[in-house]
Amino acid sequence: MTLPPGVPFPTGQFLSPNPSTTNRSHFTGFFLSFPCPENSDPQYKTQFTTHQEMIRLLIDHPAMQPNLSQTFDTPANSKNKVRVLHVGLLRTFQDLVAGVDLVNPESSAEFQTVPRRAALAKQLMLDESG
């Protein structure tokens, strides 16, 4: 994946492109390019890879198309369930990478919120009420 100029290469630390100047596609690509650390705990690896895959599926979903060229901070052209899920899972992934001990995730308070947020995302995905 080629990142736009000015977007730092991911190092595994909490880094983020500028959400005011980086479009949603590149902003998301930045986090999708993080490799899962080889020495991470199996629970951490599962959450890491599952979140990246879900984020990838959501950014590629046709409902996100109207929003891709906008900066991440710009109110979305199309406010829909896919966009809400994308933002929520992306923020959860950011918290996972930035605040969870990858060798001993259970020791991190942030890790306890990851499964809860994932469960909420699942509920939203399965909700057919609109």
Look at the chain and count its residues.
130
Neighbour tally for 85: CB within 10 Å: 22
- pLDDT band of residue 130 (cuts 50, 70, 90) is low
Say if 2 falls within a structural domain.
no
Task: Retrieve residue 91's tokens.
Answer: 């923020």
Cα–Cα distances in angstroms (integers) from residue 28 to residues 69, 123, 130, in the given order: 12, 23, 25
Say if 10 falls within a structural domain.
no
Beta-carbon contacts of residue 3 (< 8 Å; ≥ 6 apart): 9, 26, 29, 30, 33
Residue with tokens 């890491």: 48
Out of 1-10, 19-28, 44-53, 57-66, least confident range: 1-10
Query: What's the total number of domains in the chain?
Result: 1
pLDDT of residue 6: 47
- pLDDT band of residue 13 (cuts 50, 70, 90) is low
Residue with tokens 């890790």: 111
Whole-number Å distance between alpha carbons of 79 and 62: 13
Beta-carbon contacts of residue 124 (< 8 Å; ≥ 6 apart): 81, 84, 85, 88
Say if 63 falls within a structural domain.
yes
Say if 85 falls within a structural domain.
yes
Q: Domain containing 58: what range?
A: 24-126
The number of helices, as runs of H, and strands, as runs of E, in the chain is 4, 0
pLDDT of residue 10: 44
Per-residue pLDDT of 84-125, as tens digits, reads 999 999 988 988 888 888 889 999 888 888 878 878 887 877
| pTM summary value | 0.82
User: Is residue 3 pLDDT above 60, yes or no?
Assistant: no
- pLDDT band of residue 43 (cuts 50, 70, 90) is very high
Per-residue pLDDT of 51-87, as tens digits, reads 999 999 999 999 999 999 999 999 999 989 899 999 9
Say if 71 falls within a structural domain.
yes
